[in-house]
Structure 1
Amino acid sequence: MSSHSPTTPTDSALTGRDLARTVLTRGVVGRLVLGWSSVLALLLAAPLLQAPLPAPVLALVLAAIVAVIVVAAGGVVQQAEALARRLGDPYGTLVLTLSIVVIEVVLIAAVMLGPGEHATIARDSVMAVSMIIMNLALGLCLLVGGLRHGGLAANRTGTSAYLVMLAVLGALAVAMPALIGEGGGYTAVQALVVGGMTVLLYAFFLWRQTGAQAADFQELAGSPAPTARTAAAPAESAPLRVTLAVHRAELLLRTGLLIATVLPIVLLSHDMADLLDDGLARLGAPVALGGVLIAMIVFTPESLTALRAARGGEIQRVVNLCHGALVSTFALTIPTVLVIGLLTGRTVVLAESPANLVLLGATLAVSAVSASAPRATAIHGAVHLLLFGVYALVLFS
């Protein structure tokens, strides 16, 4: 993805046919048609898809649903990226991250509330997200960026803020339940207290990130990206209220398209959950693979966005996407799942295995060391990729 520079007062607003031609592209319309036609097709074919399905039919239908969800998720990311380019960082990255979290929560809830016992789906998904985002995606970004640019310098203050959030929220999400909870999960009172404190901390973090400390999450001066924003030139950025006023029509249209693209994912997730449960049971596969699939569906588009940013030398953009995605997962997905569990009476097991806790701790330690270095290099990326390989080994052990 090309660098999305912030809006300036001289930007002209799109109107009428120009707006429609720019926003309603063939790809956008195609994704909408594919998503909603798939929902209609499953609705009409429901009587023919009653369990038990023959294994080839099950695999084909599940693969088709997952493919449609991935394509629709790509459409959500596309609209979120367009909003990001218009709003500028950190607002733009925040829109993209929150859009992804909505999809993640929908898919986890669909599996959790579906047939069968899925008490660990939230834990498995969050662990998979942690490893995919912080080791696979970030590792590839540092490797590609390091090989292409020699070394990349992120904004240490902003990166440090992400990492302290991840250390605390990660411990609350997957370590503390084993120490103070019951059966690997929080009690009702503990869930409400921990969930409430987590959301409040995240709200404070967002307030600072989008306000007084916004410059801490922007590219440093001297970034190799040709259009990177720097803290040294704040006068070029238009205030958010100016952007909202000048580009209101485009922002509203893109927001509407984002919602219209998310809804098919919501509607398809129930069928995906049913078929996924049946398929994993037949294969005798690890239950955690369901969480891995959800993480891959949700974060593949964002990981590709981060890789394009790394190729362009936008290391802070990479940090905002990868670290920000995991912060929002811990801070929003976990509390939401806890509330769903309380409202529906479903058990939510969050406590992780010792092996995965070691991996998560090592990941955060390596990330902290990388962030403290003057430049992140390809070597840092290779270490992250090794940690992801160990996670895959643990998954099938």
Structure 2
Amino acid sequence: MKLFLQWTTLIPLLAWGLFFSGLIHESGVFQMVAGILLILSVMSAVHHSEVIAHRVGEPFGTIILAVAITVIEVSIIISLMISGGERTSVLARDTVFSATMLILNGIVGLCLFIGGLKFHEQIFSKHSATIALVSLVSIIILTLIFPTFTTSIQGPYYSTPQLIFVSVACLVIYGFFLFAQTKRHREYFLSTTEEDEPAGVQVTNKVFAMSLAILILSLGIVVLLAKTLSPTIESVIISYDLPKALVGVIIAAVILLPEGIAAIIAVRNNQLQTSLNLALGSALASIGLTIPCVAVVSGMLNMNLILGLDIKSIILLGLSVFTVMLSLASGRTNIIYGVVLLVNLAAFIFLIIHP
């Protein structure tokens, strides 16, 4: 435990040192090292977020990780918007859309598949899934679908009053979801096996403070390294004649890696409820907090913010949401649900490469 804690403490510090050394811009070798340190920093963030979650308890631990990951997402999008100007006006939409598809099909699908493979059938609170999915469907339609069909402005844009309304609506829905998760209906979001588990190692105030500090350092360097390496990723994608939309998928995948790992660890320990709290809470935070933030930045930069999806993407998104709703409707899962969701994810990526 101590060795792992030391390892997860050392890696972010090495990553910060490499970033400030300026060597990343010198050669491709240092960029590869930076990429490795980025992934390891993500794993460090996962470890320290688990320590914090153990201290504060559920569902607060999953909320902390979801909000932390959203901070990464917002920071990367805003920094790229500021540096890239008008050409990055679709970045928020592409990243949020990709994150939603990766969460609903990838993280949820993988958790259902692994859980079904190991335990045949797992149970969870269908009330928690219903609360999360009702909130998610509303936010998705308001942010990613309606802009394609509104008529105040030509194109997949919202007018300023519309963007303000939608931003406030997202914050209201997400705020009341957190209220339900932490206060009014907290029991829905607790693992059914939580009361039967031993208390485990107690997290002292010193360990808690250290984990919180290293978590912030890890998330910060992930943002900076992702921003630094994004032009390289984009140039590699273009050199292979692949669509630039893959950049948003890759950024979203890096951002969601901590939650994906944490969700898989939880489901392997037969805690599917924790995995679903992570996945669905992350999807809500990803859209419900990111869109209002980038709306403010786009207004400050006087930039048109493209939010509306095309018809093909709307159909894929609708398929994903509908499949997840059916998969989580009964409170019991099996391997078939996971397979179908993973096939949906494969279709999403395949249709980006071969539209």
TM-score, with length taken from structure 1: 0.81
* Residues 1:214 and 2:186 aligned together: yes
- Deviation, 1:250, is 3.4
Choose the corresponding residue for 1:334, options 287, 291, 296: 291
Q: What's 1:102 paired with?
A: 71
* Residues 1:161 and 2:141 aligned together: no
Separation in 2 of the partners of 1:273 and 1:337? Answer: 18
Tell me which amino acid in the other structure corresponds to 2:278: L
Tell me which amino acid in the other structure corresponds to 1:313: N
Relative to structure 1, the CA distance from residue 28 to residue 147 in structure 2 (aligned partners, 3 Å threshold; closer, same or farther) is closer
Alignment of 1:284-299 (within 5 A): 284-299=241-256
Q: What's 1:171 paired with?
A: 141
- Deviation, 1:92, is 0.7
Tell me which amino acid in the other structure corresponds to 1:97: A
* Residues 1:384 and 2:354 aligned together: no
Structure holding more helix per residue: 2
Q: What's 1:203 paired with?
A: 175
* Residues 1:125 and 2:95 aligned together: yes
Instruction: Work out whether residues 109 and 340 of structure 2, in 8 Å CA contact, stay in contact via their aligned partners in 1.
Output: yes
Q: C-alpha offsets along residues 342-374 of structure 1, whole Å, 9 cap, x if unaligned? A: 112233211112111111111111111121224
Point out the more displaced range, 172-181 or 312-321.
172-181
Separation in 1 of the partners of 2:63 and 2:344? Answer: 27
Please list every run of 5 or more consecutive structure 2 residues that lacks an aligned counterpart in the other structure.
none
TM-score, with length taken from structure 2: 0.90
Q: C-alpha offsets along residues 92-111 of structure 1, whole Å, 9 cap, x if unaligned? A: 11011111111111222233
Identity %: 25
Tell me which amino acid in the other structure corresponds to 1:229: E
Q: What's 1:229 paired with?
A: 194
Choose the corresponding residue for 1:87, options 56, 61, 83: 56
Instruction: Work out whether residues 15 and 34 of structure 2, in 8 Å CA contact, stay in contact via their aligned partners in 1.
Output: no
Tell me which amino acid in the other structure corresponds to 2:329: S
Please list every run of 5 or more consecutive structure 1 residues that lacks an aligned counterpart in the other structure.
1-20, 49-56, 221-227, 238-242
Relative to structure 1, the CA distance from residue 45 to residue 306 in structure 2 (aligned partners, 3 Å threshold; closer, same or farther) is closer
Count of aligned pairs: 348
Q: What's 2:159 paired with?
A: 187
Q: What's 1:305 paired with?
A: 262
Tell me which amino acid in the other structure corresponds to 2:294: V
Point out the more displaced range, 348-357 or 253-262.
253-262
Separation in 1 of the partners of 2:321 and 2:191? Answer: 22
* Residues 1:29 and 2:1 aligned together: no
Relative to structure 1, the CA distance from residue 68 to residue 22 in structure 2 (aligned partners, 3 Å threshold; closer, same or farther) is closer
Alignment of 1:256-275 (within 5 A): 256-275=213-232
Separation in 2 of the partners of 1:69 and 1:212? Answer: 38
Instruction: Work out whether residues 9 and 214 of structure 2, in 8 Å CA contact, stay in contact via their aligned partners in 1.
Output: no
Separation in 1 of the partners of 2:285 and 2:59? Answer: 14
Q: What's 1:314 paired with?
A: 271
Please state whether the residue corresponding to 1:115 is helix, strand or coil.
Answer: helix
- Deviation, 1:277, is 4.1
Separation in 2 of the partners of 1:81 and 1:374? Answer: 25
Separation in 1 of the partners of 2:48 and 2:56? Answer: 12
Q: C-alpha offsets along residues 22-41 of structure 1, whole Å, 9 cap, x if unaligned? A: 59932123212221111122
Relative to structure 1, the CA distance from residue 312 to residue 124 in structure 2 (aligned partners, 3 Å threshold; closer, same or farther) is same
Cα RMSD over matched residues? 2.4
Choose the corresponding residue for 1:149, options 91, 105, 119: 119
Q: What's 2:281 paired with?
A: 324
Tell me which amino acid in the other structure corresponds to 1:201: I
Instruction: Work out whether residues 125 and 331 of structure 2, in 8 Å CA contact, stay in contact via their aligned partners in 1.
Output: no
Separation in 2 of the partners of 1:26 and 1:249? Answer: 14
Q: C-alpha offsets along residues 35-78 of structure 1, whole Å, 9 cap, x if unaligned? A: 11111222x665x5xxxxxxxx55x5554433322222222222
Relative to structure 1, the CA distance from residue 140 to residue 45 in structure 2 (aligned partners, 3 Å threshold; closer, same or farther) is closer
Instruction: Work out whether residues 46 and 261 of structure 2, in 8 Å CA contact, stay in contact via their aligned partners in 1.
Output: no
